[in-house]
Homo-oligomer: A and B are copies of this chain.
Amino acid sequence: MILSALLTSVGINVGLCFLFFILYSILRNRPNNSELYIPRLVAEGEFQEADEVNARRLLPSFKWVKRAWQPSEDELMSNSGLDAVVFMRIFIFGLRVFRFAGIVGIFVLLPFNYMGNQLNIDFTDLPNKSLESFSISNVDDGSSRLWIHFCAVYVFTAVVCYLLYFEYDYIASKRIAHFYLSKPQPREFTVLVRSIPVTAGRSFSESVESFFSEFYPSTYLSHSVVRRTSKLKGLVSEADKVYKRLVHAKSKKYTQQRFKRAGFMGLFGKKIDLLDHYEKKLEDMEDNVRTERSSLAGKEVPAAFVSFKSRFSAAIASQLQQGLKPTEWITEQAPDPHDVYWPFFSASFMKRWMCNIAVFFSCIFITVVFLVPVFIVQGLTHLDQLEIWLPFLRGILKFKVISQVITGYLPSLILEMFLNVVPPVMIVLSSIQGYIALSQIEKSACIKVLWFTIWNIFFANVLSGSALYRIDVILEPKRIPELLAVAVPGQAAFFIAYVVTSGWTKTFSSILLRMKRLIWSLLKRRLGWKSDEEIEVPSNPYHKEIPRILFFSLLGITYFFLAPLILPFILVYYCLGYIIYRNQLLNVYAPKFETGGKFWPVVHDSTIFSLILMHIIAIGIFGLKKVPLASSLTIPLPILTLIFNSYCRRRFLPTFKGFPAECLINKDRLDQRDPTLSSFYDELTTAYRDPAMKPIRYSSTSESSTSPLLR
């Protein structure tokens, strides 16, 4: 790609970003967009009149930037939880890393790259210059300038490792502090027991009761066995629908609207009063629900939530093997009651284990299948190939603008569209893997999406783009450094375009402006569809966002010494992201669960992987550039990095898995002075009831527009 094509792409995107920015600043202040842009404030009733006054104006107001910038970390923590803080720490970490990388890259490495003569480019025609002249490819083979790159790699690794250590330490201490400050949570006192063995003549409930009251007589509090409620859930949701229709029918002003013919499509048969009809139906359904509930006793699933009187006992029960057989009485810490993912409880140990294996292979399959769109995209960046395949395009491609748009902008757009499908698929895969909490599913999906992104965006693009793509390269590890060294620098331009399109513009359009929702709500308003639904407050889709952010960090780290030109673009991305995500966390997203910062280890591991990948490429590049000594001297670097990582795992990871005995016992003792503890225990005994088992009260039909089931 030449410089002017890149500039076209950057230009288009900067324009789009600016447009979106202005658009948001206008739209945000319009009151009928409040449900779209500040749903959280509206839901929490914090939507102030002062905003409404401003809202009449059509002039853009940029106050939101200041308001997103201002809150301190503690305010963010109390507002959106530790997970949000950890999420923002990714940006702070990224900014720190790429501030350093940018300074070194642009002011030290870039001039040396440009001064090289390897590619024999003349200095006069800057716009038509290949971007390669700014990359390491332009440095002469065997030049002693490569030692500057070598030093940069070492220094950069040291800086990143230092920052990683600092950040891990900081977040670990935040996590402990957050634990000490938080109120008693049901999850801390509760253990999920699975694979309860079948005992003849005893229900699972009795088994659990006798097992835990025998072995934990002083601290066992209560338990609730999970039941197979899929049928009940169907009935309840059906009843819910009928209830909504009933409310709707009641709200109609003219009574004639309430009558309808009973027959086919309401056209034939005798007229009936809809109100009576729905009320009768609802009563029948309530009866059904009641009979279904009473028959549930026999539908127990070998899983139960067991609550204890202290956090320490719960931790003991969850961390020690309970039963004789390691595949029975499997315990783990329970998630929060509203975080529980109910559908997959009935699965046995064997079934969950088989599902795990099946999911593993499905992931591989999806990753392989996804190569097809990647190849299509890569075809677009290589226009000459495309012309050969589809000769009728030759006429169109003659126009310079079109060809520049196609090579600069279209590939990453198409890739982005395909990539949108991946996170939901991974969520589905993770959810059949047998996790029992939404947060666990999201974390697992986050890791899956991350590796998928790295493999399918980075490796597939890099290797296919260089026409060297062969899936069997993973079978020849020795050739990997060389292969990557040949392929990676050539893709710098593509990835700069990717950062600009997928990083800048997408953050503005889909995160800040919530484009899809905006269009949908505009359509609804235009067509006059008014829904009675509650304001929907979304949660931050970590599994989608974290991999994206980390992927840019991977790009920045690997291209740091190859093509430093990418660094300013990534730095800008992190700056934009910092403000935009902060704004969304404060105004749009409500936390769905609280993992206590368990996403950070994913970020740490991904950064370590990026470093190692950079080292491998460096080994290859220095070899290719005929500085074998530098190549050999780089080999200790990945080893040292891995040693550093293994130390971090030992030093910090346990803190993210559970809490130490010291904390648990101290916190338990603090609680004992708390007078509300006994009422908390009462709540605890009913906290882990299946939502389908909660009482319904349609008969005392209230006029409120929300259904009691949604409460």
Cα–Cα, bound, A316→B314 (Å): 12
Of B317, B323, B472, B660, the residue contacting A321 (CB under 8 A) is B660
B319 in contact with A665 (CB, 8 Å): no
Q: Which residues of B contact A655 (CB under 8 A)?
A: 326
Is A368 part of the contact surface with B, judged by Cβ < 8 Å? no
CB proximity to B under 8 Å, residues A190-228: 215
Known: A475-B478, A477-B477, A478-B475. A315 touches B320 (CB 8 A): yes
A663 in contact with B327 (CB, 8 Å): no
Is A322 part of the contact surface with B, judged by Cβ < 8 Å? yes
A662 in contact with B324 (CB, 8 Å): yes
A321 in contact with B654 (CB, 8 Å): yes
Shortest C-beta distance, A652 to chain B (Å), equals 7
Specify the chain B residue showing the minimal Cβ separation from A326.
B654
Number of residues of chain A lying within 8 A (CB) of chain B: 37
B324 in contact with A651 (CB, 8 Å): no
Is A49 part of the contact surface with B, judged by Cβ < 8 Å? no
Is A643 part of the contact surface with B, judged by Cβ < 8 Å? yes
Known: A319-B319, A477-B477. A665 touches B215 (CB 8 A): yes
Most chain B CB neighbours (cut-off 10 Å) among A319, A324, A357, A663: A324
Q: Which residues of B contact A353 (CB under 8 A)?
A: 647, 650
Shortest C-beta distance, A37 to chain B (Å), equals 42
A650 in contact with B327 (CB, 8 Å): yes
Is A122 part of the contact surface with B, judged by Cβ < 8 Å? no
Is A432 part of the contact surface with B, judged by Cβ < 8 Å? no
B660 in contact with A322 (CB, 8 Å): yes
B320 in contact with A651 (CB, 8 Å): no
B320 in contact with A660 (CB, 8 Å): yes
Cα–Cα, bound, A420→B315 (Å): 48
Q: Which residues of B contact A661 (CB under 8 A)?
A: 215, 316-317, 320-322
Cα–Cα, bound, A596→B347 (Å): 34
Is A476 part of the contact surface with B, judged by Cβ < 8 Å? yes
- Interface flags, A172-192, vs B, CB<8A=1, else 0: 000010000000000000000
Known: A319-B319, A357-B643, A643-B357. A324 touches B663 (CB 8 A): yes
Known: A353-B650, A476-B478, A478-B472. A662 touches B322 (CB 8 A): yes
Q: Which residues of B contact A315 (CB under 8 A)?
A: 320
Q: Which residues of B contact A142 (CB under 8 A)?
A: none
Of B320, B647, B663, the residue contacting A319 (CB under 8 A) is B320
CB proximity to B under 8 Å, residues A107-150: none
Q: Which residues of B contact A320 (CB under 8 A)?
A: 315-316, 319, 658, 660-661
- Interface flags, A375-387, vs B, CB<8A=1, else 0: 0000000000000
Known: A475-B477, A478-B476. A651 touches B327 (CB 8 A): yes
Q: Which residues of B contact A475 (CB under 8 A)?
A: 476-478
A662 in contact with B319 (CB, 8 Å): no
Cα–Cα, bound, A472→B653 (Å): 35
Cα–Cα, bound, A620→B650 (Å): 40
Q: Which residues of B contact A324 (CB under 8 A)?
A: 176, 660, 662-663
Cα–Cα, bound, A353→B322 (Å): 31
A326 in contact with B663 (CB, 8 Å): no
A658 in contact with B326 (CB, 8 Å): no
Specify the chain B residue showing the minimal Cβ separation from A660.
B321
Cα–Cα, bound, A315→B317 (Å): 12
A326 in contact with B650 (CB, 8 Å): yes
- Interface flags, A328-341, vs B, CB<8A=1, else 0: 01000000000000
A sample of 18 cross-chain residue pairs with beta-carbon separation below 8 angstroms, ordered by A number, consists of A215-B662, A315-B320, A316-B661, A321-B658, A321-B659, A322-B661, A323-B660, A323-B662, A324-B662, A325-B651, A326-B652, A326-B660, A327-B650, A329-B662, A475-B476, A475-B477, A476-B477, A477-B477
Give chain A's interface residues, CB within 8 Å of chain B: 176, 215, 315-317, 319-327, 329, 353, 357, 472, 475-478, 643, 647, 650-655, 658-663, 665
The 8 closest A-B CB pairs, nearest first, are A475-B478, A326-B654, A321-B660, A320-B661, A322-B661, A215-B665, A321-B654, A475-B477
**A320-B660, A321-B659, A326-B655 known, 8 other contacts, Cβ within 8 Å:** A315-B320, A319-B319, A320-B658, A321-B658, A323-B660, A326-B653, A475-B478, A476-B476
